């Protein structure tokens, strides 16, 4: 397994749907979080994108000098960026970070935000633009001089002077559940991402993308975006899950659901359907809880339980082909430690993460009476 964390540039808190327990996500806090991710054995972190977040590229750049090994999964936004400018940004970041950049392709957001950004093309057309964008972006990073005539992009003599460290380009992560999105993912991405749905639903999606990739002569890997609520006991974990939304009242949930229903994203529609807009019956499959999606856009589900149980649920996803897990929890600094300390010892981490965990765990606990090491 490759396990990533999340940097919550849109805000952090002990609770959802309320200012109570809220926390300012300033540069100081993001440095603390990035250094925790860097030292705890995570592969890296996803940075969100959109008008409710700090800019992901500027944020990631500001954290390079305080980290040494973590990778930054940062969004490219076809329609908001030109592919040549995006290629230069990609190459510069990759060079300055010594190959610590990963690319998250985000084709759009809700219609209101798109219109506010001046992007007015229809939903399916976004993916046609994304296809053209990635054709040009990939060709530039491969060192080609680009002449391109598409429906949306017209490039004459495009060139990139400074190549990236990673060849032919940093790995591309791509999410999207619609009929328009899946063929573009199969053609371009290295890692196909899905949000946390029940295992059978995720398997169905993986099988479809695999078949489309085979037609392109390509082999992909797969990742999932989930929240984690892990505690020493099952009872404590479910108590923490319920506490997370205890201040989200019916009015707040109804307002959030109304706003989220404006999204045209198929993935967001599927997240909304899991919770039904109510605090009742939120365990939608064993240990998979849809409470986060009552008020949060995007990833709306969490795995809840004790370390052994949560590890087994993650392995169920691994058994159907998921090898990358982008996880998070509220508040993110404390939960980054909790997940690494409680859950990582029960996971088949990749060799780099495993070595880092062994180093971190080599001298645990407080020395007893200034002379005796605590027993395991």
Summarised one tens digit per residue, pLDDT across range 52-64 is 899 999 999 999 9
Q: What integer pLDDT is reported at residue 109 of this predicted model?
A: 67
Summarised one tens digit per residue, pLDDT across range 151-183 is 999 999 999 999 999 999 999 999 888 888 899
- In this prediction, residues 229-240 reach a mean pLDDT of 98
What's the CA dihedral at 203, 209, 213, 218 to 10 degrees?
Answer: -50
pLDDT at 277 > cutoff 80: no
Q: What integer pLDDT is reported at residue 355 of this predicted model?
A: 63
**CA distance linking residue 208 with residue 204, whole number of Å:** 6
- In this prediction, residues 334-341 reach a mean pLDDT of 98
Pairing of strands 221-230, 302-305: parallel
Task: pLDDT band for 50, please (50, 70, 90 cuts).
Answer: confident
Q: Can you tell me which residue has the tokens 């001046």?
A: 118
Q: What integer pLDDT is reported at residue 107 of this predicted model?
A: 84
pLDDT at 264 > cutoff 90: no
Question: Closest Cα to residue 30, out of 1, 51, 54?
Answer: 54
Q: What integer pLDDT is reported at residue 366 of this predicted model?
A: 84
Question: Closest Cα to residue 148, out of 164, 163, 162, 131?
Answer: 131
Q: What integer pLDDT is reported at residue 35 of this predicted model?
A: 98
Contact predicate 140/206, CB 8 Å: no
Instruction: Evaluate if pTM is beyond 0.85.
Output: yes
Q: What integer pLDDT is reported at residue 322 of this predicted model?
A: 98
CATH topology of domain 2-359: TIM Barrel (3.20.20)
**CA distance linking residue 42 with residue 39, whole number of Å:** 8
CA-based torsion, 365, 63, 45, 272: positive or negative: positive
Summarised one tens digit per residue, pLDDT across range 193-233 is 999 999 999 999 999 999 999 999 999 999 999 999 999 99
Q: What percent of the chain has pLDDT over 70?
A: 94
The 3 state secondary structure assigned to 133-152 is HHHHHHHHHCCCCEEEECCC
Task: pLDDT band for 117, please (50, 70, 90 cuts).
Answer: confident
- In this prediction, residues 327-346 reach a mean pLDDT of 97
- In this prediction, residues 309-337 reach a mean pLDDT of 98
Q: Domain spans of the chain?
A: 2-359
Task: pLDDT band for 280, please (50, 70, 90 cuts).
Answer: confident
Mean pLDDT over all residues of the chain? 91
What's the CA dihedral at 112, 113, 119, 121 to 10 degrees?
Answer: -50
Q: Can you tell me which residue has the tokens 């919770």?
A: 275
Which ranges in the chain belong to alpha helices (H)? 27-40, 56-63, 83-96, 111-116, 123-141, 181-188, 199-215, 234-244, 250-260, 266-275, 307-319, 332-338, 351-360
In DSSP terms, 230 is beta-bridged to 305
Tokens, residue 350: 């990749």
Q: Can you tell me which residue has the tokens 């093309």?
A: 121
**CA distance linking residue 133 with residue 152, whole number of Å:** 9
Q: What integer pLDDT is reported at residue 33 of this predicted model?
A: 98
């Amino acid at each position: 397994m490759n396990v990533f964390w999340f940097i919550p540039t849109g805000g952090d808190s002990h609770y959802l749907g309320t200012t109570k327990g809220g926390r300012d996500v300033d540069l100081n806090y993001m440095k603390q979080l990035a250094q925790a991710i860097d030292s705890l054995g995570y592969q890296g972190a996803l940075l969100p994108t959109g008008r409710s977040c700090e800019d992901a590229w500027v944020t990631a750049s500001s954290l390079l000098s305080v980290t040494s090994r973590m990778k930054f999964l940062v969004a490219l936004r076809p329609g908001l960026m030109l592919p040549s400018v995006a290629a230069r940004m990609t190459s510069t970041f990759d060079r300055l970070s010594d190959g610590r950049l990963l690319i998250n392709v985000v084709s759009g957001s809700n219609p209101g935000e798109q219109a506010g950004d001046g992007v007015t093309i229809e939903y399916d057309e976004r993916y046609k633009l994304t296809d053209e964008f990635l054709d040009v972006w990939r060709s530039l990073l491969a060192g080609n001089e680009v002449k391109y005539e598409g429906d949306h992009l017209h490039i004459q003599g495009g060139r990139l002077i400074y190549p990236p460290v990673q060849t032919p380009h940093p790995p591309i992560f791509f999410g999207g559940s619609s009929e328009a999105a899946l063929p573009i993912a199969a053609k371009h991405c290295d890692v196909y991402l899905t949000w946390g749905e029940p295992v059978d639903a995720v398997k169905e999606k993986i099988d479809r993308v695999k078949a489309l990739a085979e037609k392109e002569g390509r082999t992909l890997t797969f990742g999932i975006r989930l929240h984690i609520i892990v505690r020493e006991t099952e009872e404590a974990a479910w108590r923490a899950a319920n506490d997370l939304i205890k201040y989200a009242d019916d009015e707040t949930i109804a307002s959030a659901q109304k706003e989220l229903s404006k999204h045209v994203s198929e993935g967001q529609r599927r997240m909304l359907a899991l919770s039904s807009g109510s605090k009742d019956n939120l365990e939608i499959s064993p240990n998979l809880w849809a409470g986060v999606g009552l008020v949060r856009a995007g990833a709306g589900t969490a795995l809840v339980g004790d370390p052994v149980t949560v590890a087994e649920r993650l392995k169920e996803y691994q058994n159907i082909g998921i090898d990358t897990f982008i996880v998070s929890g509220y508040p993110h600094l404390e939960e980054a430690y909790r997940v690494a300390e409680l859950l990582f010892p029960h996971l088949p981490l990749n060799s780099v993460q495993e070595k880092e965990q062994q180093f971190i765990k080599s001298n645990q606990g407080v020395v007893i009476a200034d002379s005796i090491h605590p027993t395991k």
